[in-house]
A and B are shown apart, each in its own frame.
Chain A
Amino acid sequence: MSAVLEGRAFAPLMPAARLMFAVQSEVDRTPTEADPNEQRAIAAVKSGDAGSYDYLVSKYMKRVVSIAWGIVRNADDAEDLAQEAFVKAYQTIERFKSGEPFGPWIYRIVTNLALDVLKHRHRFRHEELTDSHPAARGDRADLAAVSNQLASRIDAAIQSLPEMQRIVARLFLVEHFEHAEIAGMTQLSEGTVRSHLSLARAKLRERLADLYEGGND
């Protein structure tokens, strides 16, 4: 196993991965479809070829980080969570059903880890005091879009929602996941997800009324 890991396993990742990011930045936003390369990579990883895991990492890394960041609102934590999620997925890949898409599985892992971080923050009051006001933190500046007034207003409105509404709304609005996908990731029922979204929608409409009322619809 170690020979595989230390040998050809990781060498070609850097340039290829960088190229892949560019190509896949849009691809990995679409709902997961059957990807023969992905299935081959999973089968190879299961049979001990750790190098094939690079394909899965490069395909899903950006979205995994974005999901984590949306929940914890901290760049360093998001990176740590993404790393932990990928390592955990690798270590338990034997349990992963062949033929299933890898995306929902890694998204569920990272969402659970990020929700654990939030619970941990709530448990420790001093951390909550610093982390419950993300707008005041430098991490928010990581979002290039906040320089745009519209995006900034939307971000602030989503952030003002109660916790689970905020998380569900962000996964739906920002990450473009569907109800069933969000239910799978957050381990809530689809009905609960719809309920959170419905409440969030009412509040967001109220808070962002001036942005959209001028439309022709």
Chain B
Amino acid sequence: MTDEKFFERLRDDAARLRYEPKDAFVWTRLAARIREGIRRPVDLPQMLARWFRPIAASFLLLAAGAAVTVSWVERAQSAYAVESIASHPVEITVDGDTFSLTE
């Protein structure tokens, strides 16, 4: 028997392992529990959670955007500072001798 055939037959036989209580009371009770569950008004923590998630996600997005912007600005500023130092040679005079930091 091939693997495929084996699996096919196994699948046919395994179908009887589905869990299906024959007692109608089980299904009636579950349906009633679901109705009860959806009828229950939303409590405070759930309401807060519903509001909190989108607000937290927005703040997270804003924070990530701000972090990226700040790091970009800092990088641009430090590049500007290096260029600025390089283009304005610093000279120090000690005992009449002048030393330049650029060369």
Contact pick for B35, options A2, A10, A212, CB 8 Å: A10
Count, chain B residues at interface, CB 8 A: 34
Q: Are B1 and A213 in contact (CB under 8 A)?
A: yes
Interface of A is mostly: helix
**B residues less than 8 Å from A151 (CB atoms):** 13-14, 16-17
**A residues less than 8 Å from B37 (CB atoms):** 83-84, 86-87, 90
**B residues less than 8 Å from A23 (CB atoms):** none
Q: Are B10 and A53 in contact (CB under 8 A)?
A: no
Question: What is the bound-complex CA distance between A62 and B27, given in angstroms?
Answer: 8
Contact pick for A61, options B9, B16, B31, CB 8 Å: B31
List A residues 67-113 near B (Cβ within 8 Å).
69-70, 75, 78-79, 82-84, 86-87, 90-91
Q: Are A79 and B9 in contact (CB under 8 A)?
A: no
Q: Are B1 and A215 in contact (CB under 8 A)?
A: yes
Query: Is B72 located at the chain interface by the 8 A CB criterion?
Result: no
Count, chain A residues at interface, CB 8 A: 57
Q: Are A212 and B34 in contact (CB under 8 A)?
A: no
Q: Are B21 and A212 in contact (CB under 8 A)?
A: no
Known contacts being A54-B31, A57-B31, is A145 close to B2, with CB within 8 Å?
Answer: no
Contact pick for A154, options B10, B18, B26, B38, CB 8 Å: B10
Query: Is A180 located at the chain interface by the 8 A CB criterion?
Result: no
Report B's interface with A, CB cutoff 8 A: 1-3, 5-7, 9-11, 13-22, 24, 26-31, 33-35, 37-39, 41-42
